[in-house]
Amino acid sequence: MSTDATTFVAEAPRRWQPLSLRQRRVFGVLVEKAKTTPDVYPMTINGLVAGCNQKSNREPQMNLSPEEVEQVLEELGVGDRPRLLVFNKIDLLGEEDLLALQERIGRLAKGAVFVSAVHEGGSEPLRRALGAAIRSRRPLTEIRLSAGDGKLLAEIHRGGEVVDQRTDGDMLVIRARVDDALAGRLRHAGAQVIAGIKTPV
């Protein structure tokens, strides 16, 4: 008597999940704007909302709210990125109203910035806050590379903030503020990278 043996192979669990329509739109806008308008990158939430909802080159049309975009960023795993809350046009408020607003917001969001483009120096708090945020994410780093490596030197100037540079024999020694991604690329290209060096007094 013969028996037919049937073998069942369990399907391996899927390790990835396809992106939803909203996730694809937000992710696509982040990629698009990084390539086409790098001068306004990183983007504000308002800029990201506008990019998601723009009428040209978008199919299907969407009307996402800032709250929905922030939710999608959380879903994509980037919701914990540093954010800066900026209040503009404070010149429209009286002194008492402004103080009350600053006190109320100060209890809700640490480090919020209040600016006015009308008054001279009114944007200075934003400039200082952005500078501090950039410095915290791009530590002062010493980079040593061949003095003839123009391509790598150009990448450092393009992606970092060069503080100074000098030659040491046939090596170029650069002190610059670079983020982790750029530091990794430089190491991969053969440069010596020492992060977190102290600023000379």
Residue 10 lies in a domain: no
Q: What is the CATH number of the domain that holds 26?
A: 1.10.10.10
Residue 95 reports pLDDT greater than 60 = yes
Where is pLDDT greater, at 14 or 63? 63
pTM of structure = 0.47
pLDDT of 201:
44
Assess whether 185 and 147 both reside in one domain: yes
State which residues form the domain around 188.
Answer: 138-195
Q: Show the tokens assigned to 24.
A: 């694809």
pLDDT single digits (tens) 140-152: 899 999 988 889 9
Contacts of 148 (CB under 8 A, 6+ apart): 170
Q: What is the CATH number of the domain that holds 185?
A: 3.30.70.240
Residue 200 reports pLDDT greater than 60 = no
Assess whether 121 and 153 both reside in one domain: no
Mean pLDDT of 87-99: 88
Say which residue the tokens 């903030």 belong to: 161
Look at phi and psi of residue 196 and say left if phi exceeds 0, alpha if psi is from -120 to 50, else beta.
left
Percent of the chain past pLDDT 70, that is, above it, reads 86
Say which residue the tokens 């939430």 belong to: 45
Q: What does 83-97 look like in DSSP terms, one character per residue?
A: ---EE--GGGS-HHH
Residue 44 lies in a domain: yes
Mean pLDDT of 167-178: 91
Cα separations in angstroms, 122 against 91, 114, 195: 9, 8, 34
Assess whether 142 and 115 both reside in one domain: no
Mean pLDDT of 14-40: 83
Residue 8 lies in a domain: no
Residue 189 lies in a domain: yes
Residue 31 lies in a domain: yes
Counted domains in the chain: 3
Assess whether 130 and 148 both reside in one domain: no
Reported as a pLDDT band with limits 50, 70 and 90, residue 4 is: low
Contacts of 62 (CB under 8 A, 6+ apart): 22, 25, 52, 53
Assess whether 94 and 117 both reside in one domain: yes
Where is pLDDT greater, at 201 or 119? 119
pLDDT of 14:
60
Q: What is the DSSP letter of 31?
A: H
Which of 135-139, 159-163, 166-170 bottoms out in mean pLDDT, i.e. has the lowest? 135-139
Query: What is the residue-averaged pLDDT of the chain?
Result: 83
Residue 13 lies in a domain: no
Residue 106 lies in a domain: yes
Runs of H (alpha helix) within the chain: 21-36, 45-53, 66-75, 95-108, 124-137, 150-159, 180-188
Mean pLDDT of 15-44: 82
Residue 97 lies in a domain: yes
Cα separations in angstroms, 130 against 3, 42, 76, 91: 74, 11, 24, 21
